[in-house]
Structure 1
Amino acid sequence: MNKIQLSTGIVAAYEEEGNGEPIVLLHGFCGSRLYWESVIPSLAPYGRVIAPDLRGHGESSSAGSETEYDMERLADDVAALLDALDIERATIFGHSLGGYVALAFAEKYPARLQSLGLVHSTAYGDTEQAKDNRLKAVDTIREQGVVAFVDGLVPKLFAPANRENRPEWVEQAKRIGYGTSAEGAAGCALGMRARPDRVSVLEKLEVPVLLLAGQSDEVIAPEKRFPVAGPNVTAVTLEAVGHMSMLEDAAALVDSLGAFLKGDRGGKDV
């Protein structure tokens, strides 16, 4: 694990492995770079893999008195990390919250994007019900703490069969989630609530785009998984996983990411 001071004012923790074209992995809400622990070594043959902790998550610092971590600010952190590592352009794969950050990066820094992947994420903004749920999440975090919030959140991220039959995966995700600061969890919840619809960003992108979904994902509804289509878009559905393929089936996830990186753009079910 490495740490580096960024120009955006935070100290970022990150893992790095491999050489060649940069590949950035952005984790989901109340996760960390440890979500990608089984993915990084297998993806390293495809390039220089960099997996940071987003601000307020894992071992990256929080943002002081700032209460809302908007997606644009998190995208600035990613750009600052690339600057610090002397990287001009990168492929960015974003899981869930990380996908929202990747889309903000694509809108704000399009010239720095080699290709984009949304992993169990969506380009749509929150519904009114989802916005209400974000506020309830913030209340839980502030009143009961991160541990109580993570205990309620994490089981819902897994496919029902995996939630029942592989409790060790659920416990692993919980342990990772406990490392999120209350400021980071509440700040990102508010930032996700405020994020705009970015379907138009996807529609305008000319770089290769991967949209990867879990067949049993109970977080991202089927109608929100593949908002765009086109010659530069690859759509993949992984079977027998929910919202957490990096833990539920890392091999299938790496196969899909690797095929995309190699230029196999055919959409498929795995």
Structure 2
Amino acid sequence: MNRKQLSTGIVVAYEEAGVGEPIVLLHGFCGSRLYWEETLPYIAEYGRVIAPDLRGHGSSAAAGAEDRYGMENLADDVAALMDELNVAKISLFGHSLGGYAALAFAEKYPERLNALGLVHSTAFPDGEQAKENRLKAVETIRSQGVAPFVDGLVPKLFAPQHRDSRPEWVGKAKEIGYETSAEGAVGCALGMRARPDRVSVLERLKQPVLLLAGEADEVIPPDKRFPVSGDNVTAVTLKGVGHMGMMEDPQATAACIGRFLDQNREG
């Protein structure tokens, strides 16, 4: 694990593996770079992989004020980490919350993007019920702490058939989630609640786009998975996985990302 003090004021922890064109992997809510642990060695065959912990998650520092966890703030952290690592352009893949941050990055820093991937994520904003659920999550975290919230959240992330059959996966995701700071969990819940509709960002984007969904994902419904189509868009549904393809089927997830990168190499 490496650490960098960023110009955004945050100390960010990250892993690196591989060499070549930079590939950045962003994890989901109450996760960390360890969500990508099983897939990272496979993806590193395609380039230099950088997997940070988002602010307030894993081993990265919390930001303090709750309003400092907007998706734009997370995007700024990615850009600042790129600056620290002397990286000009990246292929950026974001899981769930990481996908929302990746979309904010694509909107704010399109000139620094080679390709964009949404992994079990969506460009649509929260609906009214989802917004209400964010506030309930905030109340749970504030009143009970992160651990009870994570215990309730994590099983829902996996395909129904895996919740009982693969308890080691669920247990690992919970242990990762317990490392999230209360500040980070509350701030990102509010940041996700406030995020705008970014379907237009995908529609305008000229770079290659990967939309990777889980067949049994109960977090991102089917009508929210593939908001755009076009010559630059690759849409893939992974069979037999829920919201956690990088843990439920790491080789298939990495192979999909790898094929997408190979097919869209410049030159």
Q: After superposition, where does 1:72-151 map in structure 2 within 5 Å?
A: 72-151=72-151
Pair 1:33 & 2:33 matched: yes
Pair 1:227 & 2:231 matched: no
Where structure 1 has 5 or more consecutive residues not aligned to the other structure, the ranges are 266-270
Q: CA deviation at 1:153?
A: 0.2
Q: CA deviation at 1:40?
A: 1.0
Contact (CA 8 Å) 2:72, 2:101: kept in 1 or not?
yes
AA paired with 1:126?
D
Q: After superposition, where does 1:62-77 map in structure 2 within 5 Å?
A: 62-77=62-77
Contact (CA 8 Å) 2:94, 2:119: kept in 1 or not?
yes
- Distance, in Å, in 1 between the alignment partners of 2:163 and 2:257 is 24
- In the superposition, the TM-score normalised over structure 2's length comes to 0.98
**Correspondence for 2:13:** 13
**Correspondence for 1:175:** 175
Pair 1:194 & 2:194 matched: yes
- Distance, in Å, in 1 between the alignment partners of 2:208 and 2:118 is 11
Pair 1:262 & 2:255 matched: no
Q: CA deviation at 1:45?
A: 1.3
AA paired with 1:21?
E
Contact (CA 8 Å) 2:208, 2:264: kept in 1 or not?
no
For 1:20-62, what per-residue CA distance to the aligned partner results, in whole angstroms no more than 9, with x for missing partners? 1000000000000000111111111100000000000000001
AA paired with 1:232?
N
- Any idea what SS the aligned residue of 2:228 has? coil
- Distance, in Å, in 2 between the alignment partners of 1:196 and 1:37 is 30
**Correspondence for 1:268:** none
Q: CA deviation at 1:64?
A: 2.0
Contact (CA 8 Å) 2:155, 2:170: kept in 1 or not?
yes
Q: CA deviation at 1:243?
A: 0.1
Q: CA deviation at 1:239?
A: 0.4
The count of residues paired between Structure 1 and Structure 2 equals: 265
**Correspondence for 1:51:** 51
Contact (CA 8 Å) 2:213, 2:236: kept in 1 or not?
yes
- Distance, in Å, in 2 between the alignment partners of 1:94 and 1:39 is 13
For 1:155-178, what per-residue CA distance to the aligned partner results, in whole angstroms no more than 9, with x for missing partners? 000000011211110000000000
Where structure 2 has 5 or more consecutive residues not aligned to the other structure, the ranges are none
